[in-house]
Amino acid sequence: MDLSKRINTDLSEDELIVQLKKGNVDSFEFIVREYGGYLLIIAKRYLTSEADAQDAVQDTYLHVFSAIVTFEGRSSLKSWLHRIVINISLMKIRSNKRRLVELIDDNASFFDANGKRIETETEITLSLEKLMADDSQREYIKTQITQLPQMAKNLLLLKDIEGYSTKEIAELLDISLPSVKTGLHRARLLLKKKIEHQLR
C-alpha cells in the first residue's frame, strides 16, 4: 500500500496536520489527492475556464504548503482549503470586475410612478423536490447561474450557495456593503428573469 493511502486510513485529521506542519511529503500528496477534485469544482463555479480553475487549485496548494504552519485548526482542513480556493479564484477575476449597475435594467421598470409594483406574479407551485429530481431542469438552472455576468455570479455564489454574510462578501470582493446588497438583489432578479419560465 502506498503511503498516501496509509495516511488516509491511519491518521486522524489532527495527526495529518502535524505531519503537514513537519513537511511530510506524502501527507501533502494525500491532501492534494483527497481534496483537489473538490477544490477544482469550487474553483470552476467562479472561473469559466478549466485552465484558470486548475491554476487556482494549484495556487491554493502552494499557499497551503507555505501557510500550513500558521493553521490553528479553528475550522476543518477542508473548510480552510475551501476558503482559500474561493479567495484565490476571486483574486483571479478581480480585474474583470463589472459595474454593478450593469447587472439588470433600471429598477424603475418594475414599479409605477407611485412606487407600486406593476406586475403581479403568480406563486410558484412546483415543489423543490420535484424540480431537483429532474436532471435536465437542474442542469439548465445551474447553467443559468454559472453564466450570469461575473459580478452577479460571484454575489449569488458567495451569499446563496456558500452562505457568507454580506459584510464578509464586501471584504472578499473589496466593494462597499450597500453595493453588495444592491448587487445581490439585482443578481437574484437577473436569475429570476432567466429561469422563471422553467418554474411554471
Partner 1 sequence: MNIEDKSSYPSQEHSISCESFDTFIVDYIDDNLQDNQKRIFIHHLNECPACRVYLKNYEYRIQLSKSIFANDTDKADIPNQLVDAILAAKKQTD
Regarding 141 and contact with partner 1 (CB under 8 A), the answer is yes
Q: Which residues pair with 117 in a beta bridge?
A: 111
How many helices (H) and strands (E) in the chain? 10, 0
For the bound state, the minimum distance from the C-beta of residue 89 to partner 1, rounded and expressed in Å, comes to 14
115: left (phi over 0), alpha (psi -120 to 50) or beta: left
28 binding partner 1? (CB under 8 A): yes
**Cβ proximity of 160 and 185 under 8 Å:** no
Tell me the closest approach of the beta carbon of residue 115 to partner 1, in angstroms: 3
> Is residue 119 a contact partner of residue 73, using CB atoms and an 8 Å limit?
no
Q: How many C-alpha atoms does 144 have within 13 Å on its Cβ side?
A: 18
Can you say how many angstroms the Cα of residue 55 is from the centroid of all Cα atoms in its chain?
A: 16
Under the binding rule (CB under 8 A), the answer on residue 5 touching partner 1 is: no
> Cβ distance 141 to 124 under 8 Å?
no
Size of the site for partner 1 (CB under 8 A): 51
Please list every residue from 33 through 72 that binds partner 1, using CB under 8 A: 33, 36-38, 40-42, 45, 54, 57-58, 61-62, 65-66
Task: Identify which range of 12-20, 85-93, 95-103, 152-160 contacts partner 1 by CB under 8 A.
Answer: 152-160
Residues at the interface with partner 1 (CB under 8 A) = 28-29, 32-33, 36-38, 40-42, 45, 54, 57-58, 61-62, 65-66, 107, 110-111, 114-117, 120-124, 128, 131-132, 138, 141-142, 145, 156-157, 160-161, 165-166, 181, 184-185, 188, 191-192, 195, 199
